[in-house]
Structures are given as C-alpha cells and as structure tokens.
Structure 1
Amino acid sequence: MSWFTEFPHLSDATLRDLRKLVDESFREFTRAWGGTFETVFEPLRLFLIWSENLMLNTPWPVVITVIGLISWFASRSWQITAFTILTLLLIGWFDMWDDTMRTVSMIFVCTLVAIAVGIPIGILMARSNRMQAFVNPILDVMQTMPSFVYLIPVVMLLGIGRVPGVIAVVIYAIPPMIRLTNLGIRLVDKDVLEAADAFGSSSWQKLKNVQMPLALPTIMAGINQTIMMALAMVVIASMIGVQGLGQPVLRAINNQYFTMGMLNGLAIVGIAIIFDRVSQAYGRRLQKHLEISHG
C-alpha cells in the first residue's frame, strides 16, 4: 500500500541526472553566448551609467526643483507637489540622497525599457487574438514566478552588476505594461473605429491617431503598475550588486540594523508614493481631457 500513502515520483538518481543535464546545458549556453549578450546589452549599461551620473552630479536644489516642476505639471496639485518636495528634502536630511538618486535613475531606465518593449507587444496582442492567446500564459508565469528566481539565469548569463539587475527588474515589472496596453486598445469604442474607417484611415493612422490616444489613460495605469513593481524589486536586485536604497536595506537585514532598514525602507515607500500619485493624477487628467475632446 506504499503507492497509496506515498506519491509516486521519479527516482532520486533520475532526478539528479535530469537536473545535472539541464544545469550543464545552461552553463554551456552561458559560456558560448555570454560574451555576445554582454555586447548586446552594453548600450543599456552605458545609458544606466549616464543616467546615474546625471542624477548624482546635478546639484540637489536643481534635482528637487525639476522633480517638483514635473510633479506640478503632471498632477496640477499643490498637495502632491508639496509632498514630493518635502519627501525629497527629508531623504536628503537623513543622508540617503545618493542611494535615492541611484534608485530613481534605475527605475527611470527600467521604466523606459519596459515601455519600449511592453507597448509594442501589447499592440500586437490587441491586433491578434492568436498572439494574445500565446502571450497571456507567459505573462501569467512571469507574474507568479517568485522574484528571486529571475536572478538565477540572469546572473549565470551576465554575472553580477547593473545590467543583470535591470533585466531582472524589467522581466518582473513588465507584465502590467503589456496587459494594460492590450486592454486599453481593445476597449476603444467600436463606433469611433468605424468612423475612422469611414474617413479612409489606414491601419497605422487608426492606431496612431485614434487607438493609442484613447488608450493612453489605461496605458498610464500600466506604467504606474510597472513602476510600483520595479520599486518592489529594488531590495531583491541589490543582492546581485544593484546600488541604491536596496543595499542598505539588505545590509540592515544581515546585521540587524533596525533604524537603517526602517529609514531606507521608508525612503523607498516615499519614492513609490511620489511616482504613484503623480502618474495617477496625470492619468486622470488625460482621461478628463479625452472625455472633453470627445464629449
């Protein structure tokens, strides 16, 4: 009756041989193609370094002024702008400015990469049910896979450093960008599309002048969620050498520094709230503008 009480499974030797085969195959792949992948991602590394140097070398009053102005023009809310400026001043006051600027620059690069990759995939999904049926299960796996797992193949392929961290963060954070781009385009009113067809619009003109503008509020929600997920990945990415607010948090966990962990954790929360409130307010403004222009 052992078969009834104990679930049947492969023998330990078979499992060991199978794992060994897969691991050795991936190691061979990384040895053969690792250099090629590093060359391909070299522009991303240079862009990340440029972005980080820009944030670190720009005087802090200029950075706060620029971010405050962006917050105001995006949200048109004095409360959100005041919160943004106050949060940045407190971060600097508690000596977390450099780490925060590194984190902001990384989130900026990750978000741009996610937009550049996610929007075209979302458009393809919206235009093809077959493409949607193919991509959706992949997105399901990406969203449910434990975030630590993403670090293993990326580190084996590219080693420790900035670029592997960016790639791991983008893989973890990109599904909302793809899903909401697809959803936004599919939700565009059929009557509007029929009117565009009646005016003789080509498929590209219809996408550029009708579908994308009307889907923009939903796409902005996707950008918002991508930023939030990227920030959630910051601490985990610090395990593979990504500098920023995640590294002090990781150091605090390893050495039981309660205050250091709490302060840097609160800085991450503050940055997340700024990104969230500003992008949400901008999305609402877009929605109102579109309702007025199509009302």
Structure 2
Amino acid sequence: MNADYLVAFLASTAGAATPVIFASMGELVAERAGVLNLGLEGMMLTGAVMGFAVTLSTGSAGLGLGAAALAGMALALLFAFLVLTLQTNQVATGLALTLFGVGLSAFLGRSLAGQTVEPLAKLSIPVLSDIPFVGPLLFRFDLMVYASIALAVGTGWMLARTRLGLLIRAVGESPHSAHAIGFHVNMLRYAAVVFGGAMAGLAGAYMSMALTPMWVEGMTAGRGWIALALVVFATWKPRGVVLGAYLFGGVTVLQFHGQGFGLEIPSEFLSMLPYLATIVVLVYICRDPKTILLNKPMSLGQNFKAD
C-alpha cells in the first residue's frame, strides 16, 4: 500500500463517516430524552431529496442544507406529535415514518434523476493544506466534515456539562420524577426529537450534495439503521458514536479501494462488509447486558402523559 492509496482511503473514510455522525448524534440526543425514533432512514432520504432539489434550483448549497434540515424537522415534528401528544407506539410510528419518508422522497425525486450539482466546496488552508500526507488528511475537507466533529464535541459537552443536558438526561431517566419537580417533559422531548430530525436531514443532504452530488432513489442504503445501531454500539456516548462512524466509514470505502490495495475479494462480499461489521460489533457489545444498561436511558421508548 503506497502513501497515495492510504491518503485516499483515510480521506474517503472521513467523508463516509460524516452523514452517519450527523444522524447518530441527533438520534443520541432524542434517545437520551427517552424517545426512540426509528424513522431516521425516512428523514435522511427526505433531507437528501430536498437538499438536492433546492441546491439544483437555486445554486446555493447553504439554502440546500437549510431546506434539508427543515424537511427533517418537519417529519420529526410529525413523529413527535404522534408519539408525544397522541401517545402512539414509538416503534410502530418510527417504522411508519421510515416507510413514509422512503415513498415521499421517491415521489419528490422523480424529475431529479440523472441531474447533478456541484459538490460542497473543499476548504483549502494556505500552507497547512500543502503539507505532505498531513495536509490532505486534515485540511482539505468540506465544512460539513469539520462540523460533524464539532457537533460530536458540542453534544458531549452539552449533555455532560450544561443544565440543558442535565434536563435531557433527567427526562430520559425518569420522566415522572422530572415532571414532579416542575420540568416540562414533553416540551423537552419535542425539542430533542426535532433536533434529531434536523441532523438526519443534514445527513441525507450530505450524501446527495457531497458524497454523490446527485439524487438516486434509496441512496441512503440503510445508513439510517446503521446510525440507530451506532447509538447502541456507543452506549449512548458521543465519542463512541464518532469511533463507530469512522469504523463503518472505513469498512464502507474498503469496497472501493480494495482492488487498489490488492485485495482479491469478490465485490459482493466487500459491499456487505459494512453491515456485517455492524452486526458483529453489536453482538459483541450486547453479549453482556450490563454494558448496555450502564448508560441506557431507563425510560427509552416509553411514552409519558402528565397526570
């Protein structure tokens, strides 16, 4: 393996991990508040098609990202209304949201197939970007890659060090106790779910505006489910999400760089590796229930209704 292949592999890994980090961080905040949203895949696809469509029509990547975030928030708000206000089952509602998002994105994207947009611009920092090996790995990514790391750091700090984080965790652990001392449980849960929707929308937009700057039906290819799995893999900790996302990203791009590395492995096997690796890691993590219970919000998936 020469240096050029290694740089290309590691840089591609960062790009592949970015949408998963955005989606997982949003879901982590929602789950820490006690809400299990299985609709990530649908929200990501809706964000992908809306971000691409707005960017294509306006030529502005910023407007495209904003539209994607709003689309994800709209679906998340619908989910929150159903499960928090109408008290529907969170699992069933999340699955329905995914199916709705898949169908909606396919409908909205019918006229967009085959068209392309300019990918998100890569930042170029004078001098630093030209450093051999280090420059391409650290200083030549688009803004969303850096934003994903900032999001992980900010989410970890918010949950661990701020009053808002304390409230979110309190609501996730014992909503009845939180309500008894005056916290607005469902209001906090609404905010957490809508934040998760915005992040899922941005995750989808990154795929249609940066990774493959075009719209392809079903282009998320299960990454919403991977994001859900990574939250468990990380035991609800932001740093674990980043680690898992980069692991998934590395295995994902291996299928594209495998031949360059001289790996004589069928392409079909390489295509299934990211999902196989996710299953293996989850089985390993879940072998000891105590590992999961250490950080799992106690009210996760449970509806709350004020007396």
Classify the TM-score, shorter chain.
under 0.3
Higher relative contact order (CA 8 A, sep 6+): 2
By percentage of residues, which structure has more helix?
A: 1
Structure whose CA Rg is larger: 1
